[in-house]
Amino acid sequence: MLIRLKSSATQHQYRELLDYLEREGYEVKKYSTDESVCLSILKDAASLDADDVRAFDAVEEVVDSRPPYRRASRALKPEDTVVDVGGVPIGGERTRIIAGPCSVEDEGQMHRIATHLGGKGVFILRGGAYKPRTSPYAFQGLGEKGLKLLRGAADSQGMRVVSEVPAAELIERLDHYVDMYQVGARNMHNTHLLKALGRTNKPVLIKRAPSATIEEWLLAAEYVLAGGNPSVVLVERGIRSFARHVRYTLDVSAIPIIKELSHLPVLVDPSHAAGRRRLVPPLAQAALAAGADGLLIEVHDKPSLARSDGAQSLDFDGFDELHAALQSLAAVLGRPLD
């Protein structure tokens, strides 16, 4: 961290800053240019918040070139992380697809969907049992009963399971049923939950909050990593912008940026970004072309009867058609689809 001092800073203001830095244990080096006096912080500055430094009267400007996340940073770990979901890798040489309905609804539904997806070579089944919905009057999920149906359907096809965990106190309950925990976009900033997931030993999939910067998103991952759990998968699912023709604006540029800054795998959820099924295929293709490690796609046997997100769910024909297109695309991109 470089701290440039105001030319108008008094000796007293300067002392106040130095005292603070020394009390917090940072090593400081001072140097001058023709323009200004600067302080360079040498040791362990990653825990020093640039905003805290800016609060001092002596400070003109703070340049913080080290990212505030460490374990998530590619600088710390140059090689790509491959996350193991019960034997199924995410990241690495192949493109991974996770699919399933938004909500688990009943046994027949889950059985039909799992059978279809399993038959297409999809190895990880998604489905919500605890559904944090915008409205308290909307369907909130089947709870533990839903988890049982999800697990049963997956097991019948030899598939792995990912489902959303809405609160730390429900981790233990989900643990019996899932192979990977999902942190929803609404909970990306829920540090209480993230800390608790850092103490588990299963992979954690973290969706980007619609207002999160790349740095905030990687810091959410850092909460899990810092807790001792090295298995995090990131999911881009669209950000809030002024554009109203889609539910969320899919930020494809986030994919190469994450690849540059971090070693963690990154998937894309085109369904939530699109909000309408017709837009899912072009966004899914764009995601792979931009370098995503895979996709998270909502599929339902009867989308118009889905109890949530029907408008953006693909039916079986729609999924099959997209799957075929993605196979060709993934092959030419050098990262084949199973």
What residues between 267 and 296 interact with a copy of itself by CB under 8 A? 273-279, 282-283, 285-291
Q: Considering only residues 18, 82, 171, 257, which one is a binding residue for a copy of itself as defined by CB under 8 A?
A: 257
Beta carbon of residue 87, minimum distance to a copy of itself (angstroms, whole number)? 29
CB atoms within 10 A of CB 336: 12
Q: According to CB under 8 A, which one of 8, 11, 201, 304 is a site residue for a copy of itself?
A: 304
Q: Which amino acid is at 338?
A: D
Identify the CA nearest to 214 among candidates 241, 163, 245, 252: 252
What DSSP line would sit under 79-146, residue for residue?
SPP-EEETTEEESSSSBEEEEE-SB---HHHHHHHHHHHHHTT--EEE-BSS---SSTTS----THHH
Q: Which of 92, 189, 230, 320 binds a copy of itself (CB under 8 A)?
A: 189
113 binds a copy of itself (CB under 8 A): no
Q: Which range touches a copy of itself (CB under 8 A), out of 16-24, 91-99, 119-127, 143-151?
A: 16-24
Q: What is the DSSP letter of 309?
A: -
CA distances from 288 to 253, 292, 294, 327 (A): 12, 5, 7, 11
Nearer to a copy of itself, 170 or 205 (CB): 170
Residues 133-152 that bind a copy of itself (CB under 8 A): 133-138, 140
Distance CA 54, CA 38 (A): 13
Quick one: which segment of 85-93, 118-126, 154-162, 168-176 binds a copy of itself (CB under 8 A)?
Answer: 168-176
Rounded to a whole number of angstroms, the minimum distance from the CB of residue 303 to a copy of itself is 6
